[in-house]
Amino acid sequence: MNYYKLIKIIFFVVLIFSSQNLKAQNRIEHKIAVLVNEEIITSYDIIQRLKLGAIIKGISLNSINNQILVNNTVDELIHEKLKSQKIKEYEIEISEDEYLQFEKNFFDVNNTNKNLIIDLLDKNNIKHEALKDLLIGELSWKKLINGLYYRLTSVSNLEVDEIIKKNPEITNEQAKNLVIQRQLDLQSSKMLRDMMNEATIEYK
């Protein structure tokens, strides 16, 4: 990453948080921050994702963690742009039922109440679609990786036995699923690395 350019992005983000001038804030928010294969990420996108991520993870934004969070958020948005391009290439589609089940699992895993999150989004001027778009992106990528690599996965008894030995409470089937998911996660990481190496990324 070009850290000089990233520092400029961080400056604009911090300025937005501290600005009391709404017109100036709106002008800065929509400044182009990054181009990913000619697709735009604006300072507004970064701010929205920062706030959304803080709400989901229960993190307070402050002057101490701003730089780290902005850095992570920019990387996250770049990865999502690249994933979105690949999802479109393979014409991955998500049904409403698939989304609703994934959304339910998301709130269950995070032990979070959906209505509470929606209320926090409203209070922080974040559109509900921002969360839905994030979840659809995650589900679409998962569906793409499963479609490309699931048939290539394999599970050995040794791997299953090792997992059950460390986690006696889980079933044999759950252990097999964990082994498969690890392999899929490795394929996902490799595919994303390859896309990053091939991508044209410009920090404005």
CA–CA separation, 62 vs 197, rounded Å? Answer: 33
Q: What are the residue boundaries of the structural domains of the chain, listed by start?
A: 3-148+196-203
pLDDT digits (tens, 9 = 90+) for 8-26: 444 444 444 544 444 444 4
User: Is the pTM higher than 0.95?
Assistant: no
Reply yes or no on whether the pLDDT at 53 is more than 60: yes
pLDDT at 34 over 60: yes
Task: Give CA–CA dist 100/106, Å, rounded.
Answer: 10
pLDDT at position 29 is 59
More confident residue, 59 or 179: 179
pLDDT in tens, 159-179: 999 999 999 999 999 999 999
Stretch among 14-28, 35-49, 115-129, 190-204 having the lowest mean pLDDT:
14-28
In CATH, what number does 3-148+196-203 get? 1.10.4030.10
CB 175 within 8 Å of CB 163? yes
